[in-house]
Each structure stands twice: as structure tokens, then as C-alpha cells.
């Protein structure tokens, strides 16, 4: 086990809690909602986003203006909202993050819906580097069934201990 000294831990806290731009997580959630609603072959309107994310329509309008200004979506009032090519590229990055986490959790035995919900919570805080680590771990577990079995047993033991 690697143990960080006091100075290293403080530095990690400082770096880890550094603000990364106002509302990145919110913007990502809106982009995901637009993407998923579009995948259902639905005409995406602000009210659809409002209902999906459980936010006020006025909040949707404010975030949409920002996403339009930043080039992620296009929208004309009373028309449908669509992702721009830039928005579609960003969604691919988000999907890679999400899929890496959810796949790992499912491999380790977490029920699928729980794995998806947990991945949704985690993905917005991941970097490209942490995504690559998750992807490498998933690949290693898929290629080494004996290791996967050992990890599943360990996870199951930990969960059982926590429940008792």
C-alpha cells in the first residue's frame, strides 16, 4: 500500500478540489440528456430536458444558451435541439468514461442498473488518464478470468462484511 505524507496528501486535496470551470458537470448532464433523448428518435425540446433532468424550464433555457454559445448544440426556439459535431465528439468522451466505470462495476458483480447509476455519478469527475486506467483494468479482467474470479470474491466478502 502506498501511503502519502502529510504534504503530499494536502497537495492532492488542493489539486483535486481545484475548480475546473463553472458548471462542467451540469453541461455534461445536459449533453447526455440531449443525446439519450435523440437516441430514442425523439424530437428534443427544452421541456423534455426539463423532465429528464428534473429541473425548471428556466434553468434549461439558461444552460442551453451556454451550450449554444460554446458550440455544443444548435437550437432555434420552437424547433428541436440537436448536438453539433463538437457536441457529438464530447459525447463520445463522456460515453468512454461512463462505459469504463459501468463495465468494471458489472464485471465485479454489481447489478446493471446500480452500475449505470454509479457510473453516472463518477464519470463527470474523471480525467482522460483515469478513464484509461479503468479501461486497462477492464481489459485485464476480461483477459484474465482467474483474476476476475478472485476480485469478485473479494468484493463479495467486503459487501457481506459491510451488511453485517
Domain boundaries of the chain, sorted by first residue: 24-83, 89-163
Is the distance from CB of 74 to CB of 84 less than 8 angstroms?
yes
Confidence of residue 17 (pLDDT cuts 50, 70, 90): low
- State yes or no: pLDDT of 1 exceeds 70: no
The CATH code of the domain at 24-83 is 1.10.10.10
Fold type of domain 89-163: Diphtheria Toxin Repressor; domain 2 (1.10.60)
Q: Looking at residues 135-152, what average pLDDT do you find?
A: 96
Q: List pLDDT tens digits, range 121-135.
A: 899 889 999 999 999
pLDDT category, 25, cuts 50, 70, 90? confident
pTM, two decimals, is 0.79
pLDDT for res 79: 86
The answer to whether domain 24-83 and domain 89-163 are alike in fold is no
Amino acid at each position: 500500500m502506498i501511503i502519502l505524507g502529510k504534504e503530499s496528501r494536502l497537495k492532492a486535496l488542493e489539486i483535486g478540489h481545484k475548480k475546473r470551470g463553472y458548471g462542467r458537470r451540469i453541461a455534461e448532464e445536459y449533453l447526455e440528456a440531449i443525446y439519450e433523448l435523440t437516441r430514442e428518435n425523439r424530437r428534443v425540446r427544452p421541456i423534455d430536458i426539463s423532465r429528464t433532468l428534473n429541473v425548471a424550464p428556466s434553468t434549461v433555457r439558461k444552460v442551453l444558451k451556454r451550450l449554444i454559445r460554446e458550440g455544443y448544440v444548435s437550437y432555434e426556439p420552437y424547433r428541436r435541439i440537436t448536438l453539433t459535431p463538437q457536441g457529438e465528439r464530447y459525447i463520445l468522451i463522456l460515453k468512454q468514461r461512463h462505459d469504463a466505470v459501468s463495465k468494471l462495476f458489472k464485471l465485479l458483480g454489481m447489478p446493471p442498473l446500480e452500475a449505470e447509476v454509479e457510473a453516472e455519478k463518477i464519470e463527470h469527475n474523471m480525467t482522460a488518464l483515469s478513464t484509461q486506467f479503468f479501461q486497462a483494468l477492464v481489459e485485464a479482467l476480461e483477459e484474465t478470468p482467474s483474476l476476475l474470479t478472485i476480485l469478485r470474491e473479494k468484493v463479495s466478502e467486503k459487501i457481506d462484511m459491510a451488511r453485517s
